[in-house]
Structures are given as structure tokens and as C-alpha cells.
Amino acid sequence: MEIVILVLVLVIAVLVSNIIASKFTQVPLAFIEIAVGLLVAFIVPYYRHYTMNPDLFMLVVLAPLMFYEGLNTNMRVLRRSFSTTLSLAVGLALVTVSIVGVTAHLTLTELALPLAFALAAIITPTDAVAVSSVTANIAMPEEAMQTLKNESLFNDASGIVIFDLALQAFTTGKFSFTFGFFDFTYVFLGGLLLGMILGSLLVSLRTFLISHRMDNSSVIVTLGILTPFFVYFVAELAHVSGILAVVAAGLVHGVQEGRLRLTSTKIQVVSNTTWEVLSDNLNGFVFVLLGVSLPTVISDISYRNNTFLLFLIGLSILLYALMTILRYLWLRLGLATIRVRPEYKNTNCWIIALSGIHGTVTLAMAFSLPLMLHGVTFPYRNDLLFIASVVIVLSMLVPSLILPALLPRQKEPFLREDANAARKEMINYAVKKITELNEDPLETQAVIATLHSQNRPEKIKNRRILKQLFAQTRDVENEVLDEMVSNDEISEKDRRLYQRTMLTRDFHSDNSILRGLWLQLSYRFVYFFKRLIHGRKIRQNQQRIRHNPKLMKKFKSKHDTLVEIEDRTTQQVFKYLKSPMVNKESHTDISIVQRYYRERHRRYQNNSNSNEIQEELFIKAFQFEYNFVQNQLSENKLTRELATALYEQISNDELIYMQNDEIYD
């Protein structure tokens, strides 16, 4: 139970971090997550000396993150920049680990050489997610960003393989260069090959399930989430790199995306959303865990010697500077080329050198250091974790200060005013086309109202005018009731019943939000109290009505009468709202009243025929919107970026309105 509470606290910390980040957009999310983690460490006693099982951390956190990165890799860019990616991810990674490892050993002589190489392997991998966070407000070219992502994908794997070999040499006390080379090749290539095979088999399994109509979300999405855990577990059993295996499986899933698109739009959206949420939370989980662990790490180091803590900070700065310079020289010597600002070669090299930001994988490897070795605490574990943490903070802080001076600010692809105008024009076009179909007026109005909701709703400017308008429409309803009674279409008893029903439905329109909320709570309390006291009697009456055809017929007759009255009154209300007697300047208030009566009418008149009409109109309306955007784009009246944004909105609205079974409830 304790571990469940601990994990829940971390998840809540990630949630709080995201809420704070939405308000302070200039601060990288990782910094906020670390700060919240620190706060948790001081508030929650359980986290004073918290450590996570390294093997569990690699399986539960790192495996799905690496799979998701592989899944979202642009294979076209990867193929085009493969030589650059290989140069950075393998060549530069090996050189960096070698030089940084030797430097760390010479600086901190008591640190064994294998542990120094393990430290170098930990702090070498870059993190594309962290790069995106730091460069969010500056104009980093897309191709350069994709190449950085591909580099981070494979140098993560290089770093992890070297890290495992270094730990193996430290724990066994034996290392052979020849054996290490062949072991590296077997672990590296074996992980890639096994991941590709397992990935292909799992894609075939998903395709088989889809073709046999077993493609509901509980099957396909669950299978997708289980994939990285299964692949990692099998790879570890085969003694090859589990991380490289999940990366390869992710790449295969990305390449085979066309075969997997046989699933419905709903399942694709659910799957993509699930992975995005899972990835974001796992990334946040790692940084919050860093914040939680730092007090214990710092306390352990300070307990030994405060001067030693300052020495480790200095060593961290030295290693970060050395990695940045090595990265700059690698690019300056032409061993890899990433074009950012080609006209400024020197500046270009510094931009890419500073973009070597470290993040999740570095932390994950640091946390995966063993807790025990031969029955005693693993030596220098907290020291290595602290150095890794300082390097991460430096690698994010320095580019945040320098890159904005080297790159122009990110320009919005289109102005918000242009987007609002285009959206309004698109909706008006669809409304015009829907109106020309001459379908059922009330159903057409309901669809038009929903289409207009794609725009931002207007705020009520004067609640007094709105109240007056509601009072006028109720007068219209009462006039219709009087006419129906005088023509003997309904009885006086039917009129009172309808008025009582409308009173309970309409009470909120005359009150402020707080007053309406209070009345709703009061009504629900009274309803609950009556059900509690008289529940048995009510159920008996309901059973008596269901099993008595005469009573059932009488009950249905009353309901049909109310439906008929509501239909007549609603039609007259809409006529009144369109008449000259209503002040057209208060169009916002008129729109709110119309929306209210449409929703009331929809609830009262809800039937399969009405739903079918509205669904058919919705399908046509969304198609009209698609046609509008396509025509505007072909006539160069919209930019491609704005057209994409409009297409995305139509697609999202279509999903919301057409796939929600309770849309008309």
C-alpha cells in the first residue's frame, strides 16, 4: 500500500507541475517539475530517503519512453540524414565517453576508471524533448530539429550499451577490449535485430485483430501499451539491449503505420492521446523524482564534506563545458553537418553544440545505478547522481540564456485575427449550405447552433436584458397554452402540469450562477431525501404502472401531451425571437435564449428519427467545412498552416459531435 501512495504522490506532483507550467510558459517544464519534486521531498516524510529499484525504473519508465520516441521518428528525415545521425549518435558518443571518462577519472582520482566511463555514458545522451522545451520560443529549423531528435534516439542507446559494459567491468573487475568490442556489437546489433523482428510480429498481430473485427480500443490500445514492456523483457532475456530493441520496435511500428490505419478514427485518436499523456507523464515523473531525490543526495555528500560538494559542482561544470566543446569541434571539423544558419558556419556549430541538452535518459541511467554491490552500498552512487543532475540543469540553463541571442524568435504561422476570421467565414459557409437543404427547421437550427459553438462563446454583457428576454418568451408560451385550452386541445390540468414541469426546468435562467447552483443543490437534496424516505413506495408505484397496461397507456398519453405542448410553444418562441418586436441589437442574448430553447426541445423531443436527421445534417455540415477550406486553399486565400489548423479543428469537432453516443441526451 505504501508504494501505491508514493507513486500517487509523484503523479499528483506531475499534475501540479503541468498546471503551474501552463501559467509560467517562459520557464522550462523540467525546472518546474524539479522544484515541485523538491517541495514534495520536504513535505512528505516518506520521501526523505526514497530510492527506486533500478531494474523496475528501466522497464517501467525508460522502455515506453524510448518506444514512443521510435514510434514518432520521421523515417524520411532519418534516411536523408542517416550519416549525420550515425556520426553524432555513435562516433561522437564514443569519443565523448572516452575523453570525458578519462577526464573524470583524472580529476577525481578515487573514482575507478570503469565508474568514470559509466558516468560519461550517463551524461553523454541528449534529449530531444528537452531541446523542444528550451527552443519553444525561437525559430529552430524543422529539419535541424528532426536531426537532433534522431541523434538523441540513437545516442541514448549508445550511452546505455556503454553504461552497461562499464558497470559490468566495474562489478566483475575484468575488461577485455576485444571482448568489449564484440560484446558491444552483439548487444547493439542484436537489440536492433530482435526489436525489428518482435515489432514486425506485433504489427502483424494488430493487423490480424483489425481484419477480424477485433479492433476495439480495449484490445488495440492495450496491446500497443504492452508492446515496449514485452519487447524489453524478451530482449533482456536474450542478453541484448532492451532499450535498442524497444527503439527498433517503435521504428517498425512507425514505418508500418499505414497498415495500422485500418482502425477507426476513434481508436487512432484514443491510441495517440494515450501515448502522448503516458509519455508526458513519464517524462515529468523522472524530473519530479530527481527533485525528490536531490535532498537525500546532497545531504549524503555534505555529511561527508561540504567542500567535496563544491568540488562535485565544479567537476560537473568542467564535464559539461568539455562535452559542449567536443560537440562544437566535431561539427566544426565537418564530421557531421546540421544546417541551421548555413551562412554563419561558426554560429551554426555553436547552436548545435549548445542544443546537446540532456534530460530524461541521463536521469534514467543515473537512477538505474545499482543500490547494492556485494552486500554493501554501491560506491559513489549519490555522487554520480548529483553530477548528472547538475549537468542536466546546466545543459538546459545555458542554452535558455544563449540560444535566443543566436536565433530569431519563433514567428506565429498565422495571426490569431486571421484564424478567427477564417473560422467564422467557414462556419457561415456551412450554415448557409445547411439552410439551403430545407430540412426540418428545428433540427436544422439545432445543428446550426452546434456549428456556431465552434466559435468562442460570447459573454453575457447585461444579465438584466437576458432576464427580460426569458420573461417575454415565457409570456409567449403562456399565450400558446391559453389558446390550446380555449380550443379544447388540452385541459386546464394539462396546462398546469406543463407549467410545473417548465418551472423546474427553467428556474436557472432567472438567477445568477451562484443562486442557480444553490437551487440545484437544494432540489437534488430534496429529491434525494424523498427517494430515501419514500423510495420503496415510489418503486412500487413504478412497478405497478409498468405491469398495468391501462396505467401505462395513461402515463404515455400524458407524456405525449406534454411533448405536443412543448413542440407548439417552442415553434412560437422561435417565431417571436425572429419578429420585429425583439431588439436585434441584443443578438448575444437572443442567441443564448435560442440555444436554451433548442436544448430543451432536444431533450423533450429526443427520438431516433430526430437524432438521425441531426446526424445526417452534421455529416453534411462538416463536409461543407472541409470543402470550404479546400477551395480557399486552392485559390491561395489561406496559407497551408492556417488550412491545417482549420482541418484539425473540423476533425476534432467531427469526432466530438459524431462519436459521442450521448450527444443528444
Band (319; pLDDT cuts 50, 70, 90): very high
The owner of cell 477564417 is 422
d(Cα 288, Cα 292) in Å, to the nearest integer? 6
Q: Which run of H or of E encompasses 322?
A: helix 306-332
pLDDT at 155 over 60: yes
Band of the pLDDT at 97, cuts 50, 70, 90? very high
* Four-CA torsion 278, 279, 284, 285, nearest 10 degrees: 60
Closest CA to 249 of 153, 162, 163, 155: 153
Cell of 159: 550511452
- CA nearest neighbour of 657 among 627, 624, 617, 626: 617
0.85 surpassed by pTM: no
Give the span between the Cα atoms of 157 and 63, in whole angstroms. 11
Q: Contact, 41 vs 295, CB < 8 A?
A: yes
Question: Residue 34 and residue 39: Cα distance in Å, rounded?
Answer: 9
pLDDT band at 649 (very low <50, low <70, confident <90, very high): confident
**What domains lie within the chain, and their CATH numbers?**
53-406 (1.20.1530), 414-462+591-665 (1.20.1440), 463-585 (no CATH)
For residue 42, CA distances in Å to 36, 49, 53, 291 come to: 10, 11, 22, 10
pLDDT 10s digits, 616-645? 787 788 888 888 888 887 777 888 778 887
User: Which band of pLDDT confidence, cut at 50, 70 and 90, is reported for residue 495?
Assistant: confident
All cell numbers assigned to 459: 459573454
User: Which amino acid makes up residue 191?
Assistant: G
For 202-233, write each residue's pLDDT tens digit: 888 887 877 776 767 677 788 888 999 999 99
**Nearest CA among 390, 430, 619, 603 for reference residue 501:** 603
pLDDT tens-digit series, residues 535-591: 555 555 555 545 556 555 555 677 778 788 888 888 888 888 888 777 666 666 777
In this model, does residue 193 exceed pLDDT 80? yes
